[in-house]
Amino acid sequence: MLTNRSIAVTKKEMTLIERLYIPAILHGLRITVRHLFKKKVTIKYPESRREFAKVYRGQHVLKRDEIGAERCTACGLCAVACPAEAITMTAGERKKGEEKLYREEKYATTYEINMLRCIFCGLCEDACPKEAIFLTDRITPSTFNRGEQIYGKDKLVEPIGKPIDISARQTKEVIEFKKNAAYAHNKVYNG
């Protein structure tokens, strides 16, 4: 014996009522009846919608810059940071005349996110040096087809002239960081 805290365990015989499980059944019914008179927590979607937190992480968006060019340079850091390995992309070279479409010489010709694998952790937006990918407050629609859950650039890139607001995802520290001219790495370079 290593300690003096040993307790002698005895096997207590159950009574007839306990063997019939009547007290356990009555206890379960009491809990059920108590829940019948509580306020319902069900929300009748889509007639009424639940309020989400400002930092809710929903469907992804690939952002454009001020002139409408895609920010993504296909560096692959978001794909490396993704713990679920849900992001795949291929890079391509910008051709002459496409300066207004893509910010830099390299861009993502294909960019896909498998939404069935995505865990909406936000590591992709933390890893992106160009602030190209963000998680929005939009809910990812459900489908019956697995192929529709692989989102390409057609579903991810924000429309020209209709920017998607992601200001709620920006913390005070990030906004202050962007104001510092020494860290202006996301400005358009026309060299």
Distance CA 13, CA 103 (A): 78
Joined together, the tokens standing for residue 32 give 């059920």
Is this structure's pTM higher than 0.85? no
Joined together, the tokens standing for residue 59 give 């469907």
CATH code of 60-183, in short, is 3.30.70.3270
Interval 157-177: pLDDT, tens: 998 888 887 877 777 777 777
CA count, 13 A, side-chain hemisphere, 55: 6
Spans of all domains in the chain: 60-183
Interval 108-142: pLDDT, tens: 999 999 999 999 999 998 898 888 999 988 888 88
At residue 191, the 3 state secondary structure works out as coil
181: left (phi over 0), alpha (psi -120 to 50) or beta: alpha
- C-alpha to C-alpha distances, 57 to 17, 107, 132, nearest whole angstrom: 52, 25, 15
Residue 87 pairs in a beta bridge with 113
The closest of 24, 71, 36 to 189, measured between CA atoms, is: 71
pLDDT at 91 over 80: yes
